[in-house]
Structure 1
Amino acid sequence: DSDGKKSALNITASYDAVSDAFSIVNTKSGSDNKVSLSVDTGAGSAADTTALLNNLKLGQVSGGAISAPLSFTAAGTTSTLEAAGTNASVKVDGRTYTDLQDNKLQVNGVTYTFKKATPAGTTAQVTIAQDQEKLVENVKKFVEDYNKLLDDLHGRYNNNKYPDYEVLTKEQEASMSHEQVEKWNERAKSGLLYRDGYLRSIISDMRDAVTNRVGSAPGRYNNLAAIGITSKDQSGHLQLDENKLRTAIAAEPDAVNQIFSHTDDDDNYGDNGVATRLAERLGKRMESLKNHAGITANKSDRSELGKLIESYEKQMSDFKQLMSSFENQLYKKYNAMEEAISKLSSQFGFFSGQ
């Protein structure tokens, strides 16, 4: 620019002394990105300047070859040349993908970035290698998350109840501060899942999922212990031998993946990977827990506990009606008795006055 500042033109210009070639390259890609050159020829010399520019024989590079010379167009006192890119078209595994604006394509989780065009009919061989470091980090994260979940479940399963903290009545809450009520209720709610059968089943399912072999995994790498993941205590926490894991990944990376993520087409539990087993079993346990306890505080969710609460509320309502009816009967009998006593008193007074 005239003020010495650079504009965001998205182009780079360079001169190659060896080939004696000057190039202008658009740093973006696709048909919407263009390189345009405009030269102010001055009044009366437009034709001569345009002829001079055309003699430079500027061409467009495509597939490593330079096209026929492009022509400048004169308009008034300006000569202009414009060259536009084209969207990429590529065939991957027999399928053609067109109009790739940014020269990138993602297929089956693999991102391809196309650097240059190749002649028609030319095949490019792509070799995809396993990212071992990423796989190791994922396995370490799995072990860490598994142990955290197991700790949380064991904590709730073994959390005993404070025997001296019953649920507060409204009268008791009214006589206490807000902070006192919160602390009391926290202890009153302790032990709600102590030795809970649902939690015991979930913990058992987790152990089963990580200890049994994966039937679909080939060769010697067919269980977690074979790739360095073993149980380190009676609670079932996992520990990782990273060296053993790296050895397994280097030898059979596909088998390591299969141990974790394989999903059997026939839904055979023994052939499913560890992560698939966990997702399946925990999903079923959560569904059972939802049917038992519900997922909201609304008792009308048709869960087992919701129905039980409704049953108790109906019994309480029926008992209140029974008590109200009994109370009314007593009032009627009391009134009848008072009337009888009043009549007897009147009769006694009559006879006494004779």
Structure 2
Amino acid sequence: MSMNLTRITGMYSGFDTDQLVKDLIKAESIKVDKIKQDKIYTEWQQEAYRDIINEIRAFKDEYFSYTKPETNFRSTSSFVGYEANMKDESNNYYLDVGVTSASVTGNYTITDITLSESAIKQGNNTFLLGNSDLDKTLEELGYVDGVEFTIEATNAAGETKSDTIALTKDKKLRDVLSEVNSRDLDVEMYYDEIKNSVIIKTDDTGSTASLSNIKDTGGAGDLIADLGLVIDKGIDAPITGVDAKVKITDDSGASKEVSSSNNSVTVNGVTLDLKQNLTGGNIEFSVSSNADGIVDNIKGFVNKYNELIEKINTELTEKKYRDFKPLTEDQKKELTEDEVKKWEEKAKSGLLKNDSILGSMLRNMRSILYDSVDGMALYDIGITTSSDYKDKGKLIIDEEKLKKAIQDKPNQVANLFSKEDEGLANKLYDVIEDNISTRTDSYGRKGLLLEKAGIEGDRTAEDNLLSDKIKGYEDRITELLQDLNDKENYYYTMFAKMEKALAKMNSQSSFFMGQM
């Protein structure tokens, strides 16, 4: 019978071999526990960084995103200090009224609306018998040599385009329409069943859009002439579109006719999107100040800013309990659940205390808010920094002063936040992007906080300094555990050899005793 003596305990020696081995490798076990604690602490730090990153992202998404124009402080869209009200809401059938930061308040009356139109050439022939002719081949329609014709048109931008269309006799009349529509001519050719005519019209509207030359080339059948669509550049005047026109009268009784190549016109900073012609009667609307809406927007911005810097300041100044290390699994087993919770509260305190990245970001944000833009600063509109040192840079608002500034100087208030490059919101956005941008710069780097701790949903989730550090701890733990296992096996082997030797000695002693 064979026996594996590798881990025979004190059968002959009477030693507690397990305890002896445990004591012998205790120093090495402590090393493993220390690195496990460092790993856990680094994981906690990473979680704390990511919580802050998410708070910053939420602030950025709410107040610096073009997907939210009503609260995007980088754009003047958040500072439109006016609202338009239609006297009779049913008149929305004729037009929509939009306001901008340049709108002039007052009462307005619309008396005439003419919608813009395309340049249109309608066939005046009796050639077509009906819709069924569209599916006849050109040969069936009498064009045994096919057709060839030119179209020349000008779009609203004044760009003239010309092309020649040539189709063989086996093509259908419907193919002629499709071919024209596929060319880069900015025109549409279609059959109107009610009018029983083929029509060509420009895609663009307005007086600059025109059809100036439509005719057969003479190389094949005279389809264009037969359809009554000829415009001879040398003989006929071009057919032009029609500009949109609207007549508007203000409080003083002054009137103006405003025109546009499309159905949107702007006057006194008010945008009128025209929808139907108006030839009789009138439409009344007013433009008034909406300072309360902007005040509410700025209050929301300030509140979120204060919440963010309070969160960052808390992390930077939270007390650190250096004697409270992360608990090992063995240590947790010796404590109650409540004791573990209280211990870890202290162990997790001060994870980001005096963090240089967060500290620098906070200083830069606070510094920006002291800047002025075109001679106006936050204190000019009733926003100042709290004098209570405990608030650590929080902003406070004098609502009456803010409202008056918006009413008196709406454009300057808008510029203070949204002016390109110089506006406070754009500068704050740049600081935030320096720290949490997911875009890679010319050096291959992303935001500082993402490079440090990463964020889910981005390649930095795994590729960041703290994840690399955690991976290093994991590798070191694996190495130490392997060394620990090797030493443990070594000691058990040595004790087993000792037990084996003692067994042999006992056997020999028993033999000699038996000879006496």
Q: TM-score range by the shorter chain?
A: 0.5 to 0.7
Q: Deviations over 1:261-291 (max 9, x none)?
A: 2233xxxxxx2x1112222212322331122
Tell me the CA shift for residue 350 of structure 1.
9.9
TM-score normalized with structure 1 length: 0.55
Tell me the CA shift for residue 116 of structure 1.
7.1
Report if aligned partners of 2:454, 2:461 keep a CA contact under 8 Å in 1.
Answer: no
Provide the residue aligned with 2:394 in structure 1.
237
Separation in structure 1 between the aligned mates of residue 460 and residue 336 of structure 2, nearest angstrom:
29
Describe the SS at the equivalent of 1:239. Answer: strand
Provide the residue aligned with 1:138 in structure 2.
297
Query: Quick check: 1:322 aligned with 2:479?
Result: no
Q: 1:311 aligns with which of 450, 469, 472?
A: 472
Tell me the CA shift for residue 304 of structure 1.
0.6
Provide the residue aligned with 2:344 in structure 1.
185
Provide the residue aligned with 2:371 in structure 1.
212
Separation in structure 2 between the aligned mates of residue 94 and residue 177 of structure 1, nearest angstrom:
78
Structure 2 vs 1, CA of residues 229 and 28 (structure 1 numbering), >3 Å: closer, same or farther? closer
Q: 2:453 aligns with which of 293, 296, 301?
A: 293
Structure 2 vs 1, CA of residues 95 and 131 (structure 1 numbering), >3 Å: closer, same or farther? farther
Structure 2 vs 1, CA of residues 127 and 288 (structure 1 numbering), >3 Å: closer, same or farther? farther
* 1:250-261 → structure 2 map (5 Å cutoff): 250-261=407-418
Tell me the CA shift for residue 256 of structure 1.
0.9
Separation in structure 2 between the aligned mates of residue 205 and residue 188 of structure 1, nearest angstrom:
30
Tell me the CA shift for residue 299 of structure 1.
10
Separation in structure 2 between the aligned mates of residue 243 and residue 150 of structure 1, nearest angstrom:
25
Provide the residue aligned with 1:85 in structure 2.
none
Question: How many aligned positions are there?
Answer: 251
Separation in structure 1 between the aligned mates of residue 333 and residue 271 of structure 2, nearest angstrom:
64
Provide the residue aligned with 1:4 in structure 2.
none
Q: 1:249 aligns with which of 406, 428, 431?
A: 406
Provide the residue aligned with 1:96 in structure 2.
262
Q: Deviations over 1:288-315 (max 9, x none)?
A: 1122122259997121111111111111
TM-score normalized with structure 2 length: 0.40
Tell me the CA shift for residue 127 of structure 1.
9.0
Structure 2 vs 1, CA of residues 351 and 239 (structure 1 numbering), >3 Å: closer, same or farther? closer
Report if aligned partners of 2:416, 2:424 keep a CA contact under 8 Å in 1.
Answer: yes
Tell me the CA shift for residue 201 of structure 1.
1.6
Describe the SS at the equivalent of 1:259. Answer: helix
Separation in structure 2 between the aligned mates of residue 175 and residue 340 of structure 1, nearest angstrom:
39
Amino acid at match of 2:260: G
Report if aligned partners of 2:306, 2:394 keep a CA contact under 8 Å in 1.
Answer: yes
Q: 2:361 aligns with which of 196, 202, 206?
A: 202
Q: 1:228 aligns with which of 379, 382, 387?
A: 382
Q: Deviations over 1:314-341 (max 9, x none)?
A: 1111122223333444455555666677
Separation in structure 1 between the aligned mates of residue 327 and residue 284 of structure 2, nearest angstrom:
73
Question: What is the root-mean-square deviation in Å for CA atoms of aligned residues?
Answer: 4.6
Amino acid at match of 1:239: I
Separation in structure 1 between the aligned mates of residue 262 and residue 426 of structure 2, nearest angstrom:
33
Q: Kindly, what percent of the aligned residue pairs are identical?
A: 31
Amino acid at match of 1:322: D
Structure 2 vs 1, CA of residues 117 and 296 (structure 1 numbering), >3 Å: closer, same or farther? closer
Tell me the CA shift for residue 343 of structure 1.
7.5
Separation in structure 2 between the aligned mates of residue 241 and residue 348 of structure 1, nearest angstrom:
101
Query: Quick check: 1:282 aligned with 2:432?
Result: yes
Structure 2 vs 1, CA of residues 262 and 125 (structure 1 numbering), >3 Å: closer, same or farther? farther
Q: Which has the higher contact order (CA 8 A, sep 6+)?
A: 2
Report if aligned partners of 1:299, 1:310 keep a CA contact under 8 Å in 2.
Answer: no
Describe the SS at the equivalent of 1:211. Answer: coil
Describe the SS at the equivalent of 2:369. Answer: helix
Provide the residue aligned with 2:316 in structure 1.
157
Structure 2 vs 1, CA of residues 115 and 349 (structure 1 numbering), >3 Å: closer, same or farther? closer
